[in-house]
Amino acid sequence: MNDYAPWLEANDRYLAGALAELRARLERAAQRHDTPPAAPAAATALMESAPAVSTPAGPKHYWVARLFGGQHVPPSLAAAAADEPPAARPLVAAVPDDGTTAAAPDDDEGDHTPALAVLANRLGLSTFERDVLLLCIGMELDTRFPALCAQAQHDPARPYPTFALAFAVLDAPSWDALSPQRPLRYWRLLDIHQPGAQPLIGAALSADERVVNFVKGMNYLDDRLTPLLTALPPATLPPSQQAVADQLLDSLHHVPPGEPLPLVQLLGSDSVSKQAIAQAIAAAFGAQAYRLSAELLPAAVAEQETLLRLWQRESQLLPLALYLDAAEVEHGDAAAAWVRRFLARTGGLAFVDAREPWAGAATQALSVDVAKPTAVEQRSLWQRLLGDAAGAQPQQLAGHFDFNLGRIEQIAHGALAAAEDKPAALAPTLWQGALAHTRPALDQLAQRIEPKAGWDDLKLPDSEKALLRQIADQVAQRTTVYDDWGFRQRMNRGLSISALFTGESGTGKTMAAEVLAQELGLSLYRIDLSAVVSKYIGETEKNLRKLFDAAEDGGAILFFDEADALFGKRSEVKDSHDRYANIEVNYLLQRLESFRGLAILATNMKGALDSAFLRRLRFVINFPFPGSAERRAIWASVFPAQAAVGALDFDRLARLPLTGGSIQGIALNAAFMAAKAGVSIGMPLLLDAVRTEYRKLDKPINEADFHWLESAGGKP
């Protein structure tokens, strides 16, 4: 392959010679004393001999022909090259991150094919159309052309090319070159300046800037597309994702010659992994994949058509692949119709990032599910990046978090840099770094609770505490059991860890969730039902999907308080509202069963839950009303060490039939009263707070029952 400089020199010589020939033609036309035929007469003569209008074969990648050894060559290119020099060979276009590249030929045989010939072959221009384009390009490259154009048209007011001028000075004129379906206008190679009712044949013509630069040897991504497109970075795939890419490549390579490549639909929630697979496939085709967000697609039809046509043209001039990110587009949204239209017409090598297949988006499609690297692959990467200092961190991180390769590298490099001089700080730095990357998405969808309670703060019977410790142990040992011991390969359901906490309000369900979060070092998120449940059909599922997707990265415990509001029993379908309510419950069943993290459901109405949820829950823990011994332990531990506490009779206080939540409220109210009065917290103040709590709970107050308690402490 020759260097760019020799080819550019040869290309400049070709352009200089071609423009000199055009100048000579214009000079001869200017020297003629007779006026060129009027436009209608010229048009009539041309139409009598013009061939039928032929439409371009559509946007097909010429570079695919080279990669497949001659397959997928558009028929229009072969027809257009019949009266041309030997077919031009594709340009070398290694696209860097900024989208620019030099146009150098793929020239293994020493043939310096000029860029104009390459452009004509790729876009299917006839000889006449190519020369019309060169006439317009001459206006940009030679300052003598405006005066020559005016002289050749015998009109000083027309210092610009027109179709009429082209018919007068160029060989083999063809009227169908004016058709919107012929390359000059179909590919937007020319800008037509046609004010008012001026005839098309006399309108001023100018060459598109992108086309002028291509012919001069500068091949770069059109600057009208640059703000909308992002080049995907080079990708390194783990074995599980490489297998997906190989499967797709095999299918693409077996497309019959002459058939368009099918659309590749990459399904799933991890866009980063899907982008890596798309770029790996594009690189195997010698192309660069560019991401286009569906949110940036214009709403106006004319703007949509312009964007589509520019992309189709760029895909002929550069080895490109399209990655359309439609992950956030719902199939019923207004933008969905335009996405389908765009996908059906884009042509070439194209990928779409979606959660569900876009049925009818293209005549042919390949659909694959893309998942993040497996837990074993993630653990291997953690181990390789952290080295000997890793210890047990790779297994713990892979067990609690579900990251793609890029995120793992980012966290590991950041932690190693932060703990460079403090090896002992590596483990907590890694853990906090991993948690920090999971919080932003969840913070927008749920309420984060800072866990403060420990095992000693939890006053429960031993059997319930033992179940809570089992939950903590199973979450901590997931990687060992599921991956090292092979249970994940044997089972495709039932791998989620979920628990139901049931019992009266104030019996310690939220505190137990805090204890588990504290023990495991995970973030605890309480689900705000007001932000999830919607009266609009389909919105609740959409909100739940966002919530579970954000939590799939791991590092979080989802705590559904008042779970009966979401996980209620499915009812008999009597109208559309019942049907959609049941759909919400069914969706929750599916997501709860596939959720990788720990989900805790809390309710004081166990009977209101759908039985299908209970079957899928691994743990059900009943939080009983605290007995006398538990109440005494709660009273003894409810006051902080710094609080001014007087003589209290915990045995007598334990006789009050109160839950732990009520006891905490009573203690806090009594503390405020003591602070106001400037005294320590004593029995009289506590009993006043107890009376207030009874009134709040609508419990009857019998002062005789309080008399014996007051004897434990003096009046304030």
Sequential DSSP letters for 312-370: HHHHHHS-EEEEEE-TT--TTSTHHHHHHHHHHHH-SSEEEEESS--TTSSSSEEEEE-
* Closest of 644, 699, 691 to residue 665, by C-alpha: 691
Question: pLDDT category, 709, cuts 50, 70, 90?
Answer: low
Question: pLDDT category, 312, cuts 50, 70, 90?
Answer: very high
Per-residue model confidence (pLDDT) at position 707: 62
Please tell me the distance from the alpha carbon of residue 599 to that of residue 647, in angstroms, as a whole number: 42
**Lowest-confidence region among 16-30, 566-580, 612-626:** 566-580
Asked if residues 542 and 641 have their Cβ atoms less than 8 Å apart, the reply is: no
Please tell me the distance from the alpha carbon of residue 414 to that of residue 716, in angstroms, as a whole number: 59
Please tell me the distance from the alpha carbon of residue 40 to that of residue 199, in angstroms, as a whole number: 10
pLDDT (average), residues 5-29: 92
Other Cβ atoms less than 10 A from the Cβ of 397: the count is 29
> Which residue matches tokens 């002062």?
703
Please tell me the distance from the alpha carbon of residue 656 to that of residue 633, in angstroms, as a whole number: 13
Question: pLDDT category, 75, cuts 50, 70, 90?
Answer: very low
Architecture of the domain made up of 226-369: 3-Layer(aba) Sandwich (3.40)
Per-residue model confidence (pLDDT) at position 34: 52
Question: pLDDT category, 97, cuts 50, 70, 90?
Answer: very low
For residues 324-349, one letter each, b for 16 or more C-beta atoms within 10 angstroms of the residue's C-beta and e for the rest, the string is bbbbebeeeeeebebbbbbbeebbbb
H-run or E-run covering 79: helix 75-80
Q: The domain 628-710: what is its CATH number?
A: 1.10.8.60
* Closest of 561, 558, 567 to residue 603, by C-alpha: 561
- List pLDDT tens digits, range 158-209: 999 999 999 999 999 999 999 999 999 999 999 999 888 889 999 999 999 9
Per-residue model confidence (pLDDT) at position 646: 86
Percent residues over pLDDT 70 in the chain: 81
Question: pLDDT category, 583, cuts 50, 70, 90?
Answer: low
- Number of Cα atoms under 13 Å in the Cβ half of residue 197: 0
Residue 443, classed as helix, strand or coil, is helix
The identity of residue 71, as a single letter, is Q
Domain ranges in the chain with CATH number 1.10.8.60: 628-710
Residue 457 DSSP symbol: G
Q: Which fold has domain 455-623?
A: Rossmann fold (3.40.50)
Residue 563 has pLDDT above 80, yes or no: no
Domain ranges in the chain with CATH number 3.40.50.300: 226-369, 455-623
Percent residues over pLDDT 90 in the chain: 41
H helix and E strand count, the chain: 31, 18
pLDDT (average), residues 271-296: 94
Question: pLDDT category, 569, cuts 50, 70, 90?
Answer: low
- Name every residue whose Cβ is closer than 8 Å to that of residue 6 and which is 6 or more positions away in sequence: 112
Q: What's the predicted TM-score (pTM) here? A: 0.78
Per-residue model confidence (pLDDT) at position 706: 64
